[in-house]
A and B are shown apart, each in its own frame.
Chain A
Amino acid sequence: MRGKVWKYGDHIDTDVIIPARYLNDPDPAALASHCMVDIDESFAKDVHAGDIMVGGWNFGCGSSREHAPIAIQASGVSCVIAASFARIFYRNSINIGFPILECPEASAAINAGDIVSVDTKTGVIIDETTGQSFQAKPFPEFIENIIEKGGLLKYLKEK
């Protein structure tokens, strides 16, 4: 995975990732068209397939809406890197097979607009713009399996 970075701060809540007023249409493309709109109107317009979102601490806090990781994924973002994730957002991302990486060092050092490449298997994150590299926490094997199968339901179905 390789893309341009969209950088946000701490406690990015699911109400700003996808405001509740847009939850009446759960179509992924519709959700993507409103993603981040309350804090960054340019995101939905200018995001490119493969781009990477970087957040601070407690990314995805607040409501349980799976619409939040769905909106980010459908917008074309290939993965989210954050210092830490709120637990429901973390579960939801894994369950829909959307790669997320927890790495406080990368979250602090990577700048908006940097070109970053990510190996989700090894957890190695390279900021090609600054030349820095980081190691994210690897997933436990059980979770890695769910992501590899493409989500929880596919995992369950195969079991």
Chain B
Amino acid sequence: MGMTMTQKILAAHAGLPEVHAGDLIGAKLDIVLGNDVTTPVAIGVFEKAGFTEVFDNEKIVIALDHYTPCKDIKSAELCVTSRDFAKKHGIKHFYDVGTVGIEHALLPEQGIVGPGDCIIGADSHTCTYGALGAFSTGVGSTDMAAGMASGLNWFKVPPAIKVELTGKPGPCVSGKDVILHLIGEIGVDGALYKSLEFAGEGVAELSMDDRFTISNMAIEAGGKNGIFPVDDRTLEYIKDRFNREPAVYEADPDAEYERVVKIDLSTLEPTVSMPHLPSNTKTVGEASGLHIDQVVIGSCTNGRMSDMRIAASILKGKKIADGVRCIIIPATQQIYLDCMEEGLLKIFVEAGCAVSAPTCGPCLGGHMGVMAAGERAVATTNRNFVGRMGHTQSEVILASPAVAAASALAGCIADPREL
């Protein structure tokens, strides 16, 4: 029986010739990641268990991105815990205010992660790096502590769902629309404990930023990971960034899939997810006209350069609607600089948007755009659970940057193709 891409990477990191779905294995880790919320808990567990040394201070990444620049005294104290630990152990990849970006935009950009890696991160959206052909999954703080101590962790080898992409996406249809459509199809637990393996000729039609967005939200379908094959576009992306030798794995032709989901990209519409589950999808047309109070363009899902460019192309020379607050958050300092050099910051500010330093902030109702009861946002973020962006009676509608920008201008959900 052949193996999927995920199974091959896990087998290689477990030192086994083959693994099968359901096997419990111990695997070597290439990168262990944490943020300002999860790392302090991991440090507590690590120290309480009596560990004094990390397995490799070049393979641990700590990015203070959630509540930074610190929103209150308690979050400042959490950052102190992480900062002291990073200093004590000489953590090479430690990112603080001024260098930090949203972790899942930052790690690929900095070349810290690459094809064939086995990565855990104490952040559920760690699945993002599947876009590079890595096995990458979100875990909790105790797993992070175990990873920091030993460079190993345990995994149950997942079965897979193959997502076969064909066709070419139409105008204003992006990676976000692909993944929202898929979650709408299979549900928020449709890929529970499973890997989502993207394949087919349609992959070549997707930019790296589209693929990051798609892999990022694999967790919103319950998935353990969401992985793309490595192609020329991947290799071009990692060139001059990733300084380890990429390990390129392909699924065996006879790999077993529990299910195959086919998506013809040319048939997709700009898609939104209505409150309060990412699987409550509608086409933008079905939701258009719904009043909004706030727009957020950013996050680990959609705060990358191509997201900034599409938002700017829609907002250029226009003003956002009266009564709407539009918050734009370039995901990393490099993206912020690129926005500045390309003149996008000017476009955003002149349109009436607030532009922030990189932070997860409003996505999880942390800061930088928390909502009151009765308010509704269109956000390019990843979750629209009850209370996710503030009050339990506020609402989040998930959408692409194109839909979010068009909605900011209209003051209601709007189709970017009709501007």
Query: Do residues B49 and A153 form an inter-chain contact, with CB atoms below 8 A?
Result: yes
The yes or no answer to A39 lying at the interface (CB within 8 A) is yes
Stretch at the interface among B33-41, B172-180, B251-259, B325-333: B33-41
The yes or no answer to B379 lying at the interface (CB within 8 A) is no
Q: Which of A24-83 contact B (CB under 8 A)?
A: 24-26, 38-39, 57-58, 61-67, 70
The yes or no answer to B150 lying at the interface (CB within 8 A) is yes
The yes or no answer to B232 lying at the interface (CB within 8 A) is no
Query: Do residues A65 and B385 form an inter-chain contact, with CB atoms below 8 A?
Result: no
**List of B residues within 8 angstroms of A101 by Cβ:** none
**List of A residues within 8 angstroms of B224 by Cβ:** 87
Q: Which of B1-55 contact A (CB under 8 A)?
A: 24, 37-38, 40-41, 44-46, 48-51
Query: Do residues A61 and B222 form an inter-chain contact, with CB atoms below 8 A?
Result: yes
Q: Which of B152-169 contact A (CB under 8 A)?
A: 154
Query: Do residues A24 and B189 form an inter-chain contact, with CB atoms below 8 A?
Result: no
Closest to B223 in A: A87
Given contacts A66-B41, A91-B140, contact A15 B388 (CB under 8 A): yes
Query: Do residues A15 and B386 form an inter-chain contact, with CB atoms below 8 A?
Result: yes
Return the contact of A95 from the options B142, B150, B189, B193 (Cβ within 8 A): B142
**List of B residues within 8 angstroms of A154 by Cβ:** 49
The yes or no answer to B366 lying at the interface (CB within 8 A) is yes
Q: How many residues of A contact B (CB 8 A)?
A: 40
Chain B interface, >50% SS class: loop
Q: Which of A142-157 contact B (CB under 8 A)?
A: 142-143, 151-154, 156-157
Shortest C-beta distance, B298 to chain A (Å), equals 16
The yes or no answer to B406 lying at the interface (CB within 8 A) is no
**List of A residues within 8 angstroms of B41 by Cβ:** 26, 66-67, 70
Complex Cα gap A65–B124 (Å):
8
Closest to A142 in B: B24
Interface string of A78-108 (1 = CB under 8 A from B): 0000001011100110011000000000000
Q: Which 5 A/B pairs are nearest by Cβ-Cβ distance?
A: A66-B140, A92-B140, A153-B49, A95-B142, A24-B74
21 CB contacts below 8 A, A to B, read A15-B386, A15-B387, A19-B387, A20-B37, A24-B78, A26-B41, A26-B44, A63-B364, A64-B123, A66-B141, A86-B189, A88-B124, A88-B138, A92-B142, A92-B143, A95-B146, A143-B24, A152-B146, A153-B48, A153-B145, A157-B51
